[in-house]
Amino acid sequence: MKTIDLFTSELKVINVGLTSFKESLEQEGVKVVQVDWRPPAGGDEEAMEALRRLMGK
Amino acid sequence: MAAKGVIRKGEYFDSVTLMLVARDASKIDGVIDATIVMGTAQNKSILEMSEMLLDEFRDASDNDLIIAVKAKDEAAAVLGLKKTEELLEKSRQRTTDSSEYMPKSIESAINVLPGANMVIISVAGKYAAEEAMKALQHDLHVMIFSDNVPKDKTLEVKKLGREKGLLVMGPDCGTAIINGAPLGFANVVNRGDIGIVSAAGTGLQEVSSIISNEGSGISQGIGTGGIDMKIDFGGLSFLTGVEALIADPQTEVITLISKPPHPEVLERIGEVLKTNRKPVVAAFLGADPALVRSIGAIPASSLEEAALLSVSLSKGISMEQFNKEIEESENELKELAKGLAKQLRPEQKYVRGLFQGGTLAYETQVILKDMIGDINSNAPLDPRLRLADSWRSVGHTVVDLGEDEFTVGRPHPQIDFSLRNKRILEEARDKSVAIIYLDVVIGHGTNPNPGEELAPVISEARTAGNALIIVTVTGTDRDPQNKHKIVKMYRDAGAIVLERNASASRLAGYILQDPRGN
């Protein structure tokens, strides 16, 4: 969706992180889905790097 | 004194939730300090500094939650820790109570919310770019609230966004208003025909609030983060924003906000504006007005002027009328300054500005340097004026409390008032201080009770010394905190409250130019 189309569509938000942002948007009547985000591979940098290599990214 | 703590393996909470619980825990009877953090190396070093790094914490990993409590004695520490764990459990129940299914990834969130078009990312900086790339790959617009995102990753994200014609707001972008909805730290403003692209978060808050308070409204408010105006970023997100506002039929006036962009970035903005027929106002704070005119924009010297010019253009008010009104309000400001200056004693010479908003701290320096000379700062206009110690003011001083030295291990000063409150009282006891200058930025995401947090400190500072206290409040009456209510509380406490930072800064300047009010 191009930016100009965003302006004429209903805003629908995916929130990754602070749940307070989800609450603010809901108060203003915006549809929001909260992602249950956790640091990837347990936040371990080496494991993450290994995972990326395995997935060919 | 005793410290107690516990590690919870593999538990995760977002940083604001942890901060709020830690604040409540610090108020438990007998508890001196409470910290709840993920076990990163940085957090462990902060625990060490506050004498709360227990031996068992040393092996904690990034993915472990550390709960630490310091109390007056052993018994209070044990009880404090137990109560802190209960508080944390309660907050978990609050966020998960809503029986809503929470998807584990952006991909599955798209299935839960068909037609999703925006992703807001506020996870730790080192993970933010990866999430942003996922969003862009699914053709979603992105706002990255996180800071400390690696520069090379940021450039990759911005380039992909530009290629795909998608908005990449941030990183380090606190504020946006899209289709009338406040994203991040944003105010509840009227909808209208003025579109804003801003490199600065508090700059966008100040301008959108003034426009709304003057009875006009915002079509879109696009924040890009300051990094966008640097040469290697070439205004990638800023240009996408400007193009979108040019094409947007609901936008009649375009307002641009930034510190002075790199000359090449300015040139690129000029290229984009060549196709534009709408009036453009640009507040590139401190930039040469002739340069701004050269790209076809009307220069504004402050955020306030940018907002008022935009309102005049939107309402069709003539420049003659506009200038007349500005002159009248300037005369009122000078009269007010004269009266206030008479209250000062001969030894009171300096202004001490303590800021929550980085752009407001910058703007105040731009205004005051021309009125009263050099301003020392931890974020100075001129590197020569950098404070040797950010914690100690020298002469005229402006402190940006959002800079790293104040925020490591602490929430943003728009959320946590405690550090500034302490500093206000220190400045109030300094007999050479004439003016204590404070900004309060309200809106979604910021401290819910700014009146109760600051008003008692204003009263105490007025009793402790003779310094004038000037406060500027950025926000609207429709914000959750209600600007009108906050302004009244500060006035009742003895502060002089102005509703725009530039006017408040000039008031401080006029007072110090003629400190006896002659």
Nearest-CA distance from B78 to chain A in Å? 29
Pure H helices in B389-472? 404-407, 418-428, 450-464
The closest alpha carbon to B146, from A23, A14, A40, A18, belongs to A18
pLDDT band, very low/low/confident/very high, at B90 (cuts 50, 70, 90):
confident
* One domain, residues B432 and B296: no
Q: What is the mean pLDDT of residues B302-307?
A: 97
DSSP bridge partners of B440: B473
Residue of higher predicted confidence among B129 and B409: B129
Q: Which residues of A touch B63 (CB under 8 A)?
A: 38-39, 42-44
Mutate to test the interface with A, among B7, B14, B92, B254 (most CBs of A within 10 A): B14
The model carries a pTM of 0.88
Q: Which of B150, B157, B121, B105 is CA-nearest to residue B136?
A: B157
From chain B, the residues in CB contact with A9 under 8 A are 115, 117, 179
Residue B258 forms part of a structural domain:
yes
The pLDDT of residue A47 is 55
What confidence tier does B148 reach under pLDDT thresholds 50, 70, 90? confident
Note whether B227 and B354 are same-domain residues.
no
Shared-domain flag, residues B271 and B347: no
Residue range B319-335: mean pLDDT, rounded = 93
CA distance B82 to B60: 20
Residues B334 and B315 in one domain: no
Same domain, B150 and B7: no
Report yes or no on B358 lying in a domain. Answer: yes
pLDDT at B180: 94
Report pLDDT digits (tens) over B47-65: 887 788 899 998 888 788 9
- Mean pLDDT (chain B) is 93
Pick the more confident residue, B77 or B12.
Answer: B77
Q: Say if CB B145 and CB B118 are below 8 A apart.
A: no
**How much is the average pLDDT of B90-119?**
84
Give the relative orientation of helices B483-492 and B450-464 as an angle to the nearest 10 degrees. 20
Mean per-residue pLDDT, B447-470? 96
Question: Is residue B409 over pLDDT 70?
Answer: no
Q: State the burial class of residue B38 (Cβ atoms within 10 Å of its Cβ: 0-12, 13-18, 19+).
A: buried
Alpha helices (runs of H) in B274-318, residue ranges in sequence order: 289-294, 303-315
- Domain holding B37, by residue range, is 2-92
Q: Which long-range contacts (CB under 8 A, 24 or more apart) does B424-427 make?
A: B424/B354, B424/B457, B424/B458, B424/B461, B425/B457, B425/B460, B425/B461, B425/B464, B427/B352, B427/B354, B427/B393, B427/B461, B427/B467
Q: Are B219 and B251 in contact (CB under 8 A)?
A: yes
Tell the residue number behind the tokens 């990837």, with chain if given: A40
Mean pLDDT of B173-193: 94
Question: pLDDT-based confidence at B10, cuts 50/70/90?
Answer: confident
My answer on whether B167 and B268 are in the same domain is yes
Q: What separation in angstroms does the CA of B349 have from each of B307, B385, B467?
A: 32, 18, 10
Q: Which ranges of B54-124 does DSSP label H, i.e. alpha helix?
A: 74-96, 106-112
Q: Is the pLDDT of residue B267 over 60?
A: yes
Residue B518 lies in a domain: no
Asked whether residue B473 falls in the same domain as residue B351, the answer is yes
Q: What is the pLDDT of residue A55?
A: 54
The CATH number of the domain holding residue B462 is: 3.40.50.261
Classify residue B99: in a domain, yes or no: no
Which of B92, B118, B150 finishes a domain? B92
Looking at the fold, whether B225 and B120 belong to one and the same domain comes out as yes
Does the pLDDT value for residue B97 go beyond 70?
no
Q: Which of A4, A25, A28 sits opposite B247 (nearest CB)?
A: A4
Could you report the per-residue pLDDT of B207-231, keeping only the tens digit for each?
999 999 999 999 999 999 999 999 9
B107-143 per-position pLDDT tens digit: 999 999 999 999 999 988 889 999 999 999 999 999 9
Chain A CB contacts of B38 under 8 Å are: 39, 43
CA A19 to chain B, closest CA, distance in angstroms equals 7
Interface of A with B (CB under 8 A): 1-4, 6-7, 9-21, 24-25, 27-28, 30-40, 42-44
Say what percent of chain B tops pLDDT 90. 77
Residue B336 has pLDDT above 50, yes or no: yes
Q: Say if residue B311 is in the same domain as residue B167.
A: yes
* CATH classification of the domain holding B82: 3.30.1360.30
Same domain assignment for residues B388 and B284: no
Q: What is the pLDDT of residue A45?
A: 58
* The predicted structure's pLDDT at residue A57: 42
Q: To the nearest whole number, what is the mean pLDDT of chain A?
A: 80
Question: What are the b/e assignments for A7-38, b being 16+ CB within 10 Å?
Answer: beeebbbbbbbbbbbbebbeeeebebbbbebe
Count how many domains chain B has: 3
pLDDT at A46: 56
Single out the residue of B447, B196, B443, B403 nearest to residue B303, CA to CA. Answer: B196
- Tokens representing B445 are 């995401």
- Are residues B116 and B156 both part of a single domain? yes
Other beta carbons less than 10 A from residue B90's beta carbon: 11
Interface residue of A4, A7, A15, A45 to substitute, partner B, most B CBs within 10 Å = A7
Residue A53 has pLDDT above 90, yes or no: no
Provide, as residue numbers in chain B, all residues whose Cβ is less than 8 Å from the Cβ of A40.
Answer: 127, 130
Tell me, yes or no, whether B87 and B110 share the same domain: no
State the nearest Cα–Cα gap between A55 and chain B, in angstroms: 14
pLDDT of residue B515: 78
ipTM > 0.95 (yes/no): no
**Residue B100 touches partner A, C-beta closer than 8 Å:** yes
Q: Which chain A residue is nearest to residue B92, measuring alpha carbons?
A: A19
Within a domain: residue B121? yes
